[in-house]
Amino acid sequence: MARIVLASHGRLADGMRNTLSFILGDLPNVSTICAYVDQDVSLRSQIDQTFAKFSPEDVVVVVTDIFGGSVNNEFMGLLGEKDFILVAGMNMPMLVELVSEDAPTVEGIQRVVDRGKQSILVCNGLVSGEAEEF
Amino acid sequence: MIKLCRVDHRLLHGQVAFSWCHALGADAILVASDAAASDPIRMKTMRLAKPVGMKLVIKSIDDSVAAIKSGVTDKYKLLVVTGSVADGARLVEECGIPSLNLGGTEKTEQTTKSLGIAVHVTDQEREILRGLVEKGVEVEVRQVAKDKKAVLSAADL
């Protein structure tokens, strides 16, 4: 099955998951890693604990808060070691689409990311489409 | 064909657009509402926020009934969203839709019963819904597509 891991500095990942389940309902396949909340727990151990729950057939997509941040850097370092798709720069429209993907592939996730980017908009002066008919 | 006929006082918003369209495999949305069809700002907002590639048609209740009856909607996998129990009941009865989804209605001073956390109905609406159930229409409460369908009996109303 598809497994989605949201990972952030602090509690953003939990917050994202909370809002996602408000929109989409129960999300048993979405896990979160909130890094550096507990000083005694290393990010690496949080990652290992999360991946330990998955089975080899699972397709894992990790979404981190910011490219170049230490959370994403940690996952970058694991790309050769574990099999997962890594996306940096989580935003809500992208996650809504991502959670709806049944069998994620790198190409499919690229499309999800592109649509997510299109949903970041300055709303002042937006022009809506024409009225549609059947 | 009509995949779902939904009552939601917020009409088309993120939850409906994302959760339901994907789950239903819908390719078109009909917003059936006299209020929305006469409010240019509201129509503009909904057109901007609709899911990519989805057809969105906004019509008054009369025009919605006429469109569905005429057969022009048959070729679509259609999600119908309307703002009130009374409008939903009218659509279901006049268009012969077998099921009505209650997704959200506001809690007000007039509402006397809650049918789930997001659905609140007045005495008059309870009577309308009981009427539907007695005629064999399935009346069910679900906010998002992944929720379990709670089908109501006349006694629940």
Is A129 a domain residue?
no
CB burial string B30-64: b at 16+ within 10 A, e below: bbbbbebbeeeebbebbbeebbeeeebbbbbbeeb
**pTM for this entry:** 0.82
Is A89 a domain residue?
yes
- CATH H-level, domain B2-146: superfamily: Phosphotransferase system, sorbose subfamily IIB component (3.40.35.10)
CB pairs under 8 A between A and B: 48
pLDDT at position B51 is 80
Strand order in the sheet with B2-8: B55-59, B28-32, B78-82, B2-8, B99-104, B138-141, B150-151
pLDDT at position B19 is 82
pLDDT at position A133 is 92
CATH number at residue A84: 3.40.50.510
Q: Please write the tens of the pLDDT for every residue from B81-93.
A: 999 999 999 999 9
Pair B156, B113: CB distance under 8 Å = no
Spans of chain A, pLDDT less than 70: none
Q: Please write the tens of the pLDDT for every residue from B21-76.
A: 888 999 999 999 999 999 998 998 899 888 878 999 999 999 999 999 999 999 99
What CA–CA distance (Å, rounded) separates A108 from A73? 23
Domain boundaries, given as residue ranges, for chain B: 2-146
Distance between B133 CA and the closest CA of chain A, angstroms = 27
Is A40 a domain residue?
yes
Instruction: Determine what percent of chain B is predicted with pLDDT higher than 70.
Output: 100
Is A94 a domain residue?
yes
pLDDT at position B15 is 74
Is A127 a domain residue?
no
Residues in A touching B72 (Cβ below 8 Å): 134
Distance between A106 CA and the closest CA of chain B, angstroms = 21
pLDDT at position B22 is 85
Q: Please write the tens of the pLDDT for every residue from B122-144.
A: 999 999 999 999 999 999 999 98
* Complex ipTM tops 0.95: no
For chain A, what is the domain count?
A: 1
* Residue labelled with tokens 């659905």: B119
State the residue range of the domain holding A91: 2-102
